[in-house]
Chains A and B, each alone.
Chain A
Amino acid sequence: MAKIKFTLNDEIRTVEVEPNEILLDVLRDKLGMKSPKCGCDRGDCGACAVLLNGKSVRSCLVFAIEVEGQEVRTLEGISQPKLTQLQEAFIEFNSFQCGYCAPGVIISATELLEKNPHPNLEEIKEALSGNLCRCTGYTPIFDAILDVTKRRKK
């Protein structure tokens, strides 16, 4: 066991991990962050996405021990102190059905709008190409993001 210290949603956390423990499991089972989900478990589906130093990564492909001293942000952190404009738009557009992909999609879309506040549809599709949603056909997800970019233009 090794003790690691890192910033999780603006709080400094310390946790004991084995080298073979995956970040996704540690976040969910040891630190109570249930928003990242295990989908494919091999980096293809995007359900486990979290922000590591501001960039989206697949937490199922990161060993927890690697994030010593780094900054991790999950949906729990993004949603504080209140839902973001993007999250409100997802609600308004009924963007999700079962919701399993939602945390990952929100992480990817948040990262996109951070880098590029006014993406076009193609850019949105490219940014979300690593997030699989099997309920919606993606249309209400894209509509919500486009709506946010439109509102921000005003």
Chain B
Amino acid sequence: MAVVHEFQYHKPTSLKETLQLLAKQGEKSRLLAGGTDLAVYIKEGLEYPESVIDIKRVPELSKFEVTKDHVYIGANVTFSDILENQKIKNNWQLLWESARSVASVGIRNRATLVGNICSAIPSMDSAPALLCYEAKVHLRNAKGTRQVAIDKWWTAPRKTVRKADEIVLGVSLGKPSDKHAGCYIKLGRYGGEDLAQAGLGLLVTAKHEYRIAWCAVGPIPIRAKKTEKLLDGKALTPALISKAMDLVLSEITPITDIRSSREYRNHICRIMLQRGLEVCNDRLKSKKVDTSRILGG
């Protein structure tokens, strides 16, 4: 289908040039990395940018660093890059599992994690992992840099605190220093490519610290603070898990949409929390658990 809307195309090769373009064009421009969202928005008339700034040739934005306790993911890093990184697979399981659940190979080869958080669709798979690893978003404009904690990043569906003249350089993630286990549990309508009807990220430490985050069941992804407070410092027992399940409905605010009803989401989120906590518990004991079919096939 031919695209009706016309725009200018810029292909800066340095960060300086990118920032100059942004300072001049700001709100009238859109940044392009993978384009798996932006191309659809322009095609379907949801966005009418006067210019598109392709950042794929800016070397600083391809930075991707993984150490034992720190990850930095630049704006050009794709979900396939994340999935193919063995250190992420071995040490950052929650992040790896959430990258695996994004769409399909052909999208993951192009779509970036930073693009995912900037599009800010409530069902974005990367959000629970970033919330649990307490990520920081690194922003820059012509005047300087700033960092925003991920739990302050989203303000509404498709809205973030990014200003029009700012670019997201990347996100950095940290993790608990104690031994811990994590998992991402996603409910799609079927096993293959689908947006989440509900998504849950969990990190549990051997000293019973809990980090729990939801996506797709509210206007923005959130940490489940009440559930975390109930669980913190306690070892998991069936009775405790059951108490935690009873708190789920006080934290999430799902709607009914094309993918699922509010009632079904309310029901399944309780089950997801139960199974997710059990998976983390098993993984803490070094048991191998596959989460891809945990909600059925």
Where the two chains meet, the residues of A that have a C-beta atom closer than 8 Å to any C-beta of B are 2, 18-22, 25, 38, 41-44, 46, 49, 52, 55-58, 60-63, 65-66, 68, 108, 111-112, 125-127, 129-131
Pairwise interchain contact A58-B106, C-beta atoms closer than 8 A? yes
CB distance from A137 to the nearest CB of B (A): 14
Pairwise interchain contact B106-A108, C-beta atoms closer than 8 A? yes
The contact sample of 13 A-B pairs, CB cut-off 8 A, is A20-B3, A22-B1, A22-B43, A41-B1, A43-B40, A56-B109, A58-B110, A61-B35, A127-B105, A129-B105, A129-B191, A129-B192, A130-B104
CB distance from B239 to the nearest CB of A (A): 36
Q: Dominant SS at the A interface?
A: mixed
Known: A41-B43, A63-B35. A108 touches B105 (CB 8 A): yes
A63→B3 CA distance, assembly (Å): 10
Contacts A57-B106, A129-B193 supplied; 15 other A-B pairs, CB < 8 Å: A20-B4, A20-B6, A22-B43, A41-B43, A46-B104, A55-B109, A56-B109, A61-B40, A63-B9, A66-B32, A66-B35, A68-B11, A111-B105, A125-B192, A127-B105
A26→B168 CA distance, assembly (Å): 31
A112→B80 CA distance, assembly (Å): 13
A63→B106 CA distance, assembly (Å): 15
Q: Mark B90-123, 1 if CB is under 8 A from A, else 0.
A: 0000000000000111110110000000000000
Pairwise interchain contact A55-B80, C-beta atoms closer than 8 A? yes
Pairwise interchain contact B107-A58, C-beta atoms closer than 8 A? yes
> B25 — which chain A residues lie within 8 A by C-beta?
none
A63→B56 CA distance, assembly (Å): 13
A1→B163 CA distance, assembly (Å): 31
CB distance from A141 to the nearest CB of B (A): 13
CB distance from B171 to the nearest CB of A (A): 23
For chain B, residues 39 to 63, give those with C-beta under 8 angstroms from any C-beta of chain A. Answer: 39-40, 42-44, 52, 54, 56
Pairwise interchain contact A44-B105, C-beta atoms closer than 8 A? no
Partner pick for A62 among B39, B42, B103, CB 8 A cutoff: B39
CB nearest neighbor in B for A122: B292
Q: How large is the interface on B (under 10, 10 to 19, 20 to 34, 35 or more residues)?
A: 20 to 34
> B260 — which chain A residues lie within 8 A by C-beta?
none
Pairwise interchain contact A46-B106, C-beta atoms closer than 8 A? yes
> B264 — which chain A residues lie within 8 A by C-beta?
none
CB distance from A125 to the nearest CB of B (A): 7
> B1 — which chain A residues lie within 8 A by C-beta?
22, 25, 38, 41, 60
Pairwise interchain contact B9-A65, C-beta atoms closer than 8 A? yes
CB distance from B150 to the nearest CB of A (A): 26
> B5 — which chain A residues lie within 8 A by C-beta?
20
CB distance from A39 to the nearest CB of B (A): 11
> A130 — which chain B residues lie within 8 A by C-beta?
103-107, 192-193
4 smallest CB-CB distances across A and B, nearest first, come from: A130-B104, A129-B192, A19-B9, A55-B109
A147→B9 CA distance, assembly (Å): 46
A66→B80 CA distance, assembly (Å): 19
Pairwise interchain contact A22-B9, C-beta atoms closer than 8 A? no
A26→B74 CA distance, assembly (Å): 30
Pairwise interchain contact A57-B110, C-beta atoms closer than 8 A? yes
Known: A25-B2, A56-B109. A20 touches B36 (CB 8 A): no
> B8 — which chain A residues lie within 8 A by C-beta?
19
> A21 — which chain B residues lie within 8 A by C-beta?
2-3
A63→B42 CA distance, assembly (Å): 11
CB distance from A97 to the nearest CB of B (A): 20
A76→B256 CA distance, assembly (Å): 45
CB distance from A17 to the nearest CB of B (A): 10
A62→B109 CA distance, assembly (Å): 12
A41→B54 CA distance, assembly (Å): 21
Pairwise interchain contact A62-B104, C-beta atoms closer than 8 A? no
